[in-house]
Amino acid sequence: MLSRYELALEALERRGRLRALSGRGGLDFTSNDYLGLADSAELKDAITQALARGVPVGAGGSRLLRGNHPEHEMLEAEAATFFGAESALYFGSGFAANAALIATLPQRGDLLLYDELVHASTRDGLAGTRATHRAFIHNDVMDIEDALRAFRADNAQARCFVAVESLYSMDGDLAPLGDIAALAARYDATLLIDEAHATGVLGPQGRGLSALLEGAPHVITLHTCGKALGVSGGLLLMPDLLRRFMINRCKPFIYATAPSPLIASAVRTALRLCAGADDRRAALQARIAQLAGHLAHLGLPSTGTAIQPVILGADRRATAMSDALAKDGFDVRAIRPPTVPEGSARLRITLSSRLDALEVDALGAALARHMQDVAA
């Protein structure tokens, strides 16, 4: 009965795509802890203080039963104020929040357009949506407009949605949010912005690339709490009407046990730390500029963000480079299809404010050594 699964795993291994869990080791150039908050004394103290004042570890049920806790409600109110939205809704993970949004909000007869490089969470949400949906060329505003114009010609009253990431998780590039937002407003479309990798890093006080758009009636944003904020969960920022709709119609919210009140309390602290983390963001930008210099010496482009892909093409070349760097004491992971398109296997280097100049220089030197050693 299990032979089909064994054959599937063997096929992955033959192609160099078999995944396995591995422990932490080496200098961290792979996590999404961009501000270095995940292991910070401030968050540890916040957890200790929350426990001391009686905040429970578990919720005990869904939010619509007995699982709703004041910590959830205080977090949502503070997040809405911090990001500048009318309301917020907290989920146990950013993946769950994004997939739930996509599956719940667009309805039958609506159109959902999404960037071809969007996160797997968006694609999981598409499996549950009743709306018409199609991908558009990455960051191509003209392709979005062509699709909206064609749909509106025959569906003047239907709802349209455009789903993008502000900072793309595997390519490290930015969406032209201003142009896309103007286009969405022109065609009466709702813009769904996944800020997962921009939250805490970009925008004033780390409020994301969409900070100036937040609160508009046609804008919904997702801010994850497990990357730069250093905790876990995901916050959907949206008009209150849509929040109430999600509470009533979103199955992953209705039927899931509520997130830990203790973690919700820690996220509240993380938001306050984020607001005052300009020094951490400045340190991160210094490391980004430093790595860009090393890449330039190798003839490689820089994204100018905390996410830096080094495209190597062949799957086995990417894994060989990752293994070579690991032997030198660096944790840099290889990313292979289907996470990225065929023929674009890569190293995904991420930077953090915790890193110092000597550590980034050492990685740059290791890259220079191994780029020639690992055969194309």
Q: Could you give the CA distance from residue 318 to residue 340 in angstroms, rounded to a whole number?
A: 12
Q: Could you give the CA distance from residue 208 to residue 210 in angstroms, rounded to a whole number?
A: 5
- Strand (E) positions, 239-329? 307-313
Q: Could you give the CA distance from residue 75 to residue 88 in angstroms, rounded to a whole number?
A: 9
119 is catalytic: yes
Which one of the listed residues 69, 227, 294, 370 is annotated catalytic? 227
Residue written as token pair 């619509």: 64
> Residue 265, Cβ neighbours under 10 Å: how many?
24
Residue written as token pair 């046990």: 257
Contact residues for 188 (Cβ-Cβ < 8 A; gap 6+): 160, 218
Which one of the listed residues 72, 119, 133, 294 is annotated catalytic? 119
Which one of the listed residues 71, 110, 165, 315 is annotated catalytic? 165
133 is catalytic: no
Q: Could you give the CA distance from residue 301 to residue 308 in angstroms, rounded to a whole number?
A: 9
197 is catalytic: yes
306: exposed, middle or buried (C-beta count within 10 Å: 0-12, 13-18, 19+)?
buried
Strand, coil or helix: what is 238? strand
Q: Could you give the CA distance from residue 140 to residue 3 in angstroms, rounded to a whole number?
A: 44
76 is catalytic: no
Instruction: Give CA angle at 271 (265, 273), nearest 5°.
Output: 105
Contact by Cβ (8 Å): 114, 133: yes
Where is 215: in which H helix or E strand? none
- Strand (E) positions, 99-195? 111-115, 132-136, 160-165, 189-194
Which one of the listed residues 69, 133, 197, 370 is annotated catalytic? 197
44 is catalytic: no
13 is catalytic: no
Residue written as token pair 């032209």: 176
DSSP 231: S
| Cα separations in angstroms, 262 against 63, 74, 90, 226 | 15, 12, 13, 14
327 is catalytic: no
Q: Could you give the CA distance from residue 288 to residue 306 in angstroms, rounded to a whole number?
A: 6
Where is 350: in which H helix or E strand? strand 345-350
Which one of the listed residues 71, 115, 194, 195 is annotated catalytic? 194
Which one of the listed residues 169, 344, 352, 353 is annotated catalytic? 169
Which residues form the catalytic set? 32, 119, 165, 169, 194, 197, 227
